[in-house]
Every structure is written in C-alpha cells, then in structure tokens.
A = this chain, B = another copy of it.
Amino acid sequence: MTESMEPLYLEDLQIGQRFISGSYVMEAARIKEFAAEFDPQPFHLDESAAQASLFKGLAASGWHTASVAMRLLVTSGLRIANGIVGFGGEIAWPRPTRPGDILHLESEIVESTPSRSKPQQGIVTVRSTMLNQDGEAVYMLTAKLLVFRRPL
C-alpha cells in the first residue's frame, strides 16, 4: 500500500500499486435526499416501500454509492497531480448499500499506457472496490484516468 500524500505523476504509478481510502458512513437521511433529487424510486425513498421491494429494506441509489466512492478517492484514495479526471470505465453494484454502512475504497493500478501522440500524458487504469463493514463488495469501478508526466 502506498501512502499517497504527495501528488502523483504518471511515472509514480506502477501496476499493482494499491491505495486504501478513509471511511464514510451512509446515513439514512442523506440516502433519501439524494434519491429525491436524482433517483426518486420507492426503494431509495421510504423504509416501508423499500421493505416491500426486491431490496427488502432501504437501499442507497447506486449513483449515490458511486458518488461517495468518488469522494473517498479524491479526498483520501489517490492523489494525482492534475486531479482525478476519467474518460470512463466499467461499473458494478454487486449488492446494495444500506443505512449505517461504513464504506471504504481499495484501489489498485492495473494498467498504465503512455500516450503515443502526447508525450506528456498517459492513461492509467485504476480498479476500485468499495467494501462495507463486513468486508462485502458493494461497488466496483474500473476507470481510465488521464495522468500527466512530472513537468521537466
């Protein structure tokens, strides 16, 4: 595991390098507020309706979970010099996030490709898994990030 205190450049990121974030507690009130704004479905908004749904209890919107993962990555997961800027990637929610869940993110560099046309930059693929307090994976993101070389 790397303590990522100094901003990192392309040449600092090696395949297999791992980064562990701090933790974040999912609050029921915030789950409902987020859902009211961005994902207004009964199983994200109301405990009784959620109990009767396929989730069998209140569950955070997957986009809320994804946004919390970004917060963890930006604030304590991985410090890239030019910021964390992604082109896209693959996303999965193997199980729901619940009120009271204590979440953290474990990230690993899985690929690093220098740009052919732009010698000062490259694409780094980072695979992140969000785990709850029971060590269960609730979210996975494999993202392609734009990363610059250290300026000369």
Contact = CB atoms under 8 A, between A and B. Distances in A.
Most chain-B CB neighbours within 10 Å: which of A39, A41, A70, A83? A70
Interface string A16-40: 0000000000000000001001111
Contacts of A67: 34, 37-39, 61, 63-64, 67
Interface residues of A, number: 35
State the copy count for this chain.
2
Contacts of A61: 67, 70
Interface in A65-117: 66-68, 70-71, 74-75, 82-93
Interface of A: 34, 37-43, 53-54, 61-64, 66-68, 70-71, 74-75, 82-93, 140, 146
